[in-house]
Homo-oligomer: A and B are copies of this chain.
Amino acid sequence: METDILQKNNLLAQRNRGWFEAKGILALNLVSSPGSGKTSLLERTIRELGGRLPVAVIEGDQQTMNDANRIQQAGAPVVQVNTGNGCHLDADMVHRAFRELNPAEDSVLMIENVGNLVCPSLFDLGEAKRVVIMSVTEGEDKPLKYPNMFRSADICVINKIDLLPYLDFDLPKAKEYALQVNHHLTFIDLSVKSGEGFENWINWLMEQAGK
């Protein structure tokens, strides 16, 4: 039965992918543990991209409209999807959300998944790139302990580097572990709070969007 669900999801995800391609929309699937700073990353991204690149957001959470309210205040159109007991977004939820959101052509669509390093790894949403965010307050061995997620990601954003002086976190070791499960993975180290390294993220986005 699990295979059936995944197969059905894969078909719908390809349909989403075709829709995004037709409109020139760069769709990103943002996955992480709860509390790694996905929403803060989006808030700052929306503010820094300013008029350069329009951003729309789909927010996934079990409950609350909190993140959608934060994104709206940052100035981007947003649709919140509450999954209830569900532990991940799927391609159908995303399909219904972006049809409601109707993002502009040649824009970026940020899909913030439910905070969970396990289940979302199995569900393609039709994204162009999957972005896994980890924070330096988590252990270095997270990529080894949650290998499916790091294996399925295209890029790894390592957030909260402003806290490095107060932690025992070994940044090179974390990357070494991540590369063990996915040797194609690339990394951007940054702090959403201090802004350090944030330009690398913005540059990566502009490049992905072909700007």
Measured CB to CB, the residues of A under 8 A from B are 1, 33-35, 39, 61-64, 66-67, 85-87, 114-119, 122, 134-135, 137-139, 141-142, 144-148, 160, 162-163, 166-167
Check A62 against B147 for contact (C-beta < 8 Å): yes
Docked pose: A33 CA to B34 CA in angstroms: 6
What 6 A-B pairs have minimum CB-CB distances, sorted nearest first?
A: A35-B138, A137-B137, A87-B118, A33-B34, A33-B33, A64-B144
A49 CB to closest chain B CB (Å) equals 23
CB neighbours (8 Å) of A64 from chain B are: 141, 144-145
Check A145 against B34 for contact (C-beta < 8 Å): yes
> Do A35 and B142 form a contact, CB below 8 Å, given A116-B116, A117-B116, A163-B163?
yes
CB neighbours (8 Å) of A134 from chain B are: 35
Q: Could you say which of B39, B62, B137 contacts A135, with CB atoms under 8 Å apart?
A: B137
Interface centre among A66, A114, A145, A160 (most CB of B within 10 A): A145
